[in-house]
């Protein structure tokens, strides 16, 4: 699979982020898309590729 095959549209990433944010704020389990390192590091949320919550800072 080439890079073009793996490309994700920016709009789909925004939609996934909005859904995850909504779930997170409602207290439901939420997994944010890969590439949201800041949220993983500073908000302690789970991200698709990281797979673990960041430790409290």
Long-range contacts of residues 40-49, Cβ cutoff 8 Å, at least 24 apart:
45/20
Q: Range of 12's domain?
A: 3-47
Query: What's the structural domain count of the chain?
Result: 1
**Does residue 28 sit within a domain?**
yes
**Six-digit token pair at 39?**
């949220």
How far CA 40 is from CA of 2, 5, 19, 29, 45, in Å, comes to: 27, 26, 16, 14, 5
Q: Within a domain: residue 10?
A: yes
**Higher pLDDT, residue 45 or 5:** 45
Which residue carries 């430790």 as its tokens?
Answer: 55
pLDDT of residue 17: 87
Q: Is residue 57 part of a domain?
A: no
Q: Output 1 or 30, whichever has higher pLDDT.
A: 30
Which of 9-18, 28-37, 43-52 has the weakest average pLDDT?
43-52
């Amino acid at each position: 699979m080439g890079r073009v095959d793996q490309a994700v549209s920016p709009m789909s990433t925004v939609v996934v982020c909005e859904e995850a944010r909504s779930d997170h704020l409602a207290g439901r389990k939420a997994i944010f898309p890969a590439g949201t390192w800041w949220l993983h590091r500073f908000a302690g949320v789970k991200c698709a590729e990281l797979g673990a919550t960041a430790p409290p800072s």
